[in-house]
Every structure is written in C-alpha cells, then in structure tokens.
C-alpha cells in the first residue's frame, strides 16, 4: 500500500485505475495523470470462487474506489488490468491458470470492463510492474528499462520509449526464460526447459539449490536452523547470510552471478537506460548488507562481461514501488492506450 496518498484536489486529470491481479490479493489503485496514487485498496483474490466472481469484484472495486474519493465511474478514463500469464493479450484471456481450469480462456478483460463500465487495457503483471517502475519508480525520467522481478519465478518487463514489449504472441518480456546455460548439466526451469535464467535466480531455485547443498552435507548455522525445523526460505537465507553462514552467502552470490549473466544479454539487445531488480527476493534492498552484497555481485558480473561503455553507463538498481508497481503500472498502461485514442 502506498505510504502517501495524493489528495484528490491536487490530482491532475484524467484519472486511471490499475488492477493488479495476484494469486493472493487483488490490488487496485486510482492514479492521476502524473502517476500519483489517489486511492488504493487490496482484497483477497479468492481465485477458487472462479473468474466471474473475481471479475465482478475487480470491476466493482474500481467503481467503489472512485466512490471512496467522491467520484463516479465516468471519472476513471480507463482501467489497466495486470494478470499473471501466460496470456492471450489481444483476446483478453488467461491461457492457462495453473490448477484453476475454470480460469483458462475466460474473457477476463471484457468481463472486468462489463462490471465497471470502463474500457480495460490488459497486460502481463510483470510488464505492468515494469511500466510502473519506468513511469514513476526507479527508472522515472529515463527513456527505457528492463525490469526483472525475482519471486516464485522470474518475471520481466521491457519498456522502450513508452512501448511495452508484450510480444507478437503475448510472450514478450519473459525475461526469466532466456537461455543462460545451454549445457547438458543445466538446471531445469519450472516451465520444463533446461537452462533458463529462472532456474538459477528465482526464490524457488535458491531454496532448491540451498536444499541440495544441505543434502550434500553443508554444515553451519543454516544447516542447524533447518535441522531445528525452520522453513528454508529466501528470508532465512538472507538472515543466515547476514549472520555469516557460508552456504547461504554462496547460494545468494551464485544467483547474483547468473542474474548478471542474464543482464548482459539484455544490455546487448535492448540496451536500456536502466536495469531494475524487483520482486519479493531483494534481500532488503540496497540499505541492507545482504541486499547490497547481492546487487554488487550482479554489478560485478556485468562489469566483467558487458561492453565497457554499457557497464559504465547503465545503472542497475532495485525497484522502489514494491508491491504497488503492478497496480500503478497497469494504470500507466491504461493511460498510454487512452492517449493513443
């Protein structure tokens, strides 16, 4: 939730709503033309109730949010909806929603639009988060960005001068699925293919790699904590790395190395104005010793491998909008469509 809400009287019209549909929560932001949040709400997704139920709550949520600040639906120029993929963006549907088959192919965009009576721009959630950081976050004022979102998986957003690279088949900016290890020993990505970036630097991968190290006999505070029944998570890895555990530190640094390898490929193809790292797995960010260790290792790998001019001129930063990037960015993508007519 944004810490500061802009008073409506100070907002620049038109206003846009951004909806970030997550596995756990639906976050909705009412955002002004300069990307400032006027109103915000979050509610449980309750995905098992089915997509029509969620679409109704998302659409009505937009109306309720406008009403919270004394506005009608007509005051919202357009709605942006960010959704986990894979999507069919032109169709406005989720292609395959994990273990929730009633969501597959459901006309999500159009049903949300029907429930709020406003036009809806549909986007991949990681692209929306990338647009949020581009518009008013870590890359604000710059001409382009590549954002990598480290969480259960590795999401991506590529924005080039207000073009959101969503791809011809709705699979653009799948930055977690670039091939970084083509060898026969490559780790398997959850998507089924070996050697993708996600297999080396998602939270899931880090936990799996740490578990392998422990199973192979790594000793120390991390091993002791896990033996004591603590759940092996990236939070625990961060805490143990801070406490000097060599295994935790190694696993985190190795993930950073792979992330740097992936970023070199983005620098040499997109050549963005900035690379932004966000998501749940950022170890407390630059202010935290482990967060700093992580991003410095990423930067060192990039310096060692990228064209020197790019390594020198392209900042690699943590995201700054946190969990609000998706809803703010979705509103920003709605704004782009609104401006294009």
The alpha-helical segments, DSSP class H, found in the chain are 51-68, 108-116, 125-136, 198-201, 203-215, 221-227, 234-242, 246-267, 289-305, 308-313, 325-340
Minimum CB separation of residue 316 from a second copy in Å reads: 13
Minimum CB separation of residue 58 from a second copy in Å reads: 26
273 binds a second copy (CB under 8 A): yes
305 binds a second copy (CB under 8 A): yes
Q: Which of 261, 277, 290, 321 binds a second copy (CB under 8 A)?
A: 261
> How far, rounded to the nearest angstrom, does the alpha carbon of residue 112 sit from its chain's CA centroid?
22
Q: Pick between residue 254 and residue 288 the one whose CB is nearest to a second copy.
A: 254
Instruction: Work out whether the CA dihedral 56, 58, 61, 66 comes out positive or negative.
Output: negative
- Cα distances (angstroms) measured from residue 243 to each of 201, 236, 240, 249, 289: 21, 10, 5, 9, 11
269 binds a second copy (CB under 8 A): yes
**Beta-carbon count within 10 A of 205 CB:** 28
Q: Which of 183, 184, 217, 341 binds a second copy (CB under 8 A)?
A: 183
Q: Which of 101, 143, 244, 289 binds a second copy (CB under 8 A)?
A: 143
The two three-digit tokens of residue 113, written as one number = 């639009």
Minimum CB separation of residue 96 from a second copy in Å reads: 10
Closest CA relative to residue 200, chosen from 248, 149, 255? 255
Residue 188 pairs with which residues in a beta bridge? 194
Instruction: Work out whether the CA dihedral 47, 86, 114, 327 comes out positive or negative.
Output: positive
Q: Which of 51, 155, 272, 322 binds a second copy (CB under 8 A)?
A: 272
Look up tokens 């422990």; give the residue: 214
Q: Which of 70, 74, 141, 182 binds a second copy (CB under 8 A)?
A: 182
Q: Which of 5, 179, 208, 235 binds a second copy (CB under 8 A)?
A: 179
Helices 125-136 and 325-340 pack at an angle, to 10 degrees, of 80
Distance separating alpha carbons of residues 95 and 109, to the nearest angstrom: 13
Judged by CB under 8 A, which stretch of 8-16, 55-63, 246-254, 308-316 contacts a second copy?
Answer: 308-316
267 binds a second copy (CB under 8 A): yes
Q: Which of 4, 168, 228, 231 binds a second copy (CB under 8 A)?
A: 168
Binding to a second copy (CB under 8 A) within 40-99 occurs at 86
Q: Which of 30, 31, 76, 165 binds a second copy (CB under 8 A)?
A: 165
Residue 173 pairs with which residues in a beta bridge? none
Q: Pick between residue 191 and residue 280 the one whose CB is nearest to a second copy.
A: 191
Minimum CB separation of residue 97 from a second copy in Å reads: 16
Say if CB 278 and CB 220 are below 8 A apart.
no
> How far, rounded to the nearest angstrom, does the alpha carbon of residue 5 sit from its chain's CA centroid?
22
Minimum CB separation of residue 149 from a second copy in Å reads: 14
Minimum CB separation of residue 21 from a second copy in Å reads: 21
Beta pairing, strands 120-124 & 93-94: unpaired
Closest CA relative to residue 66, chosen from 42, 37, 39? 39
Q: Which of 32, 133, 174, 324 binds a second copy (CB under 8 A)?
A: 174
Residue 39 pairs with which residues in a beta bridge? 30
Q: Pick between residue 3 and residue 161 the one whose CB is nearest to a second copy.
A: 161
Minimum CB separation of residue 242 from a second copy in Å reads: 28
What character string, x for contact with a second copy (CB under 8 A) and - otherwise, covers 185-204?
Answer: ------x-x--x--------
Backbone angles phi, psi at 89, to 5 degrees: -65, -45
Binding to a second copy (CB under 8 A) within 145-164 occurs at 156, 158, 160-161, 163
Residue ranges that bind a second copy, judged by CB under 8 A:
86, 142-144, 156, 158, 160-161, 163, 165-175, 177-183, 191, 193, 196, 258, 261-262, 264-273, 305-307, 309-310, 313-314
């Amino acid at each position: 939730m944004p810490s500061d809400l802009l008073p409506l009287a100070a907002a620049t019209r038109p206003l846009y709503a951004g909806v970030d549909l997550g596995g756990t929560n639906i976050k909705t932001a009412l955002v002004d033309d300069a990307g400032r949040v006027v109103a915000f709400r979050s509610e449980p997704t309750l995905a098992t109730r089915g997509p029509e139920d969620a679409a109704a709550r998302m659409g009505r949520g937009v109306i309720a949010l406008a009403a919270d600040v004394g506005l009608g639906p007509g005051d919202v120029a357009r709605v942006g909806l960010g959704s986990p993929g894979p999507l069919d963006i032109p169709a406005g549907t989720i292609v395959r929603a994990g273990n929730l088959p009633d969501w597959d192919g459901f006309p999500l965009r159009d049903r949300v639009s029907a429930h709020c009576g406003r036009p809806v721009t549909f986007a991949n959630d990681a692209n929306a988060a990338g647009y949020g950081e581009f518009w008013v976050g870590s890359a604000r004022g710059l001409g382009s960005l590549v954002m990598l979102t480290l969480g259960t998986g590795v999401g991506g957003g590529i924005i080039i001068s207000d073009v959101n690279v969503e791809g011809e088949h709705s699979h653009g900016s799948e930055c977690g699925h670039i091939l970084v290890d083509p060898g026969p020993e490559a780790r398997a990505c959850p998507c089924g293919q070996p050697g993708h970036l996600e297999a080396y630097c998602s939270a899931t991968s880090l936990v799996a790699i740490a578990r392998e190290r422990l199973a192979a006999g790594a000793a120390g505070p991390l091993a002791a904590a896990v033996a004591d029944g603590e759940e092996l998570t990236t939070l625990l890895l961060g805490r143990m790395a801070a406490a000097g555990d060599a295994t935790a530190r190694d696993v985190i640094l190795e993930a950073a190395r792979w992330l740097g390898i992936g970023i070199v490929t983005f620098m040499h193809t997109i050549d963005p104005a900035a690379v932004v790292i966000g998501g749940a797995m950022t170890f407390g960010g630059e202010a935290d010793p482990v967060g700093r260790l992580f991003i410095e290792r990423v930067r060192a790998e990039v310096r060692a491998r990228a064209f020197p001019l790019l390594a020198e001129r392209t900042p690699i930063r943590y995201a700054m909008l946190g969990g609000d990037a998706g809803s703010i960015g979705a509103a920003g993508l709605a704004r782009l469509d609104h401006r294009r007519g």
